[in-house]
Amino acid sequence: MQGKGVVKFFLVVMTIVTLVQYFFILPTQKVENAADEYAKQATQNMEEGLQKTAFKSKRAEFLDSMSSEEVFRIPLLKSYTYQELKSQQLALGLDLKGGMSVVLQVDLRDFIRALANDSKDPTFSEALDRASQAQKNAQDDFVTLFYDAWREVSGDKRLAPIFTRNEALRDQINYETSDGEVVRIIRKKPTRPST
């Protein structure tokens, strides 16, 4: 039963923090809405291409002019400028504002190099370099481009000896494994650690 008091205390504290943040947000939103309206009126007769840039500029100009103006007053305690209120608000990250999308992508060049235990074989390195160059203009995946580049530069060399250095691949690749089979095994390897 002692836990109820702690929960109530934190509930009251969180409510107070929320209300304080709410009081910081309302006046700044009012100023920002006025800035939007000012910028909209100032740019409404401009051509479409310039309008967006001019809108941002006029909005920033309005907000700069309001930064030192009093926009909120707590009677008998304190008055706040727009800049003071803005600085005391909780900063919303881009995920809360809905402003960013992130795509994580594995660098397959580094992945292949890691599977080969960072092999210093010059033919292997040249094939990786050629695949990287080809990737700039090609639609094929990096593994395919690497295999094509390997076939161009390898001569009689084989991929299997390069990848047998990796203990995790030794049960799948031996010195007799064909280049095509090595590439198939590389393609099936997970590119992220399992959890």
Q: Looking at per-residue confidence, does 160 or 22 come out higher?
A: 160
Distance from C-alpha of 87 to C-alpha of 50, rounded to nearest angstrom: 31
Residue carrying the six token digits 């100032």? 42
SS3 label, residue 70: strand
SS3 label, residue 71: strand
Question: The pTM is what?
Answer: 0.45
pLDDT of residue 80: 79
SS3 label, residue 55: helix
Output the CA–CA distances (angstroms, integers) from residue 81 to 15, 28, 31, 34, 75, in the order listed.
24, 9, 11, 15, 14
pLDDT of residue 8: 87
pLDDT digits (tens, 9 = 90+) for 5-50: 888 888 899 898 888 777 778 888 888 898 899 888 888 888 777 7
Output the CA–CA distances (angstroms, integers) from residue 145 to 82, 109, 132, in the order listed.
56, 11, 8
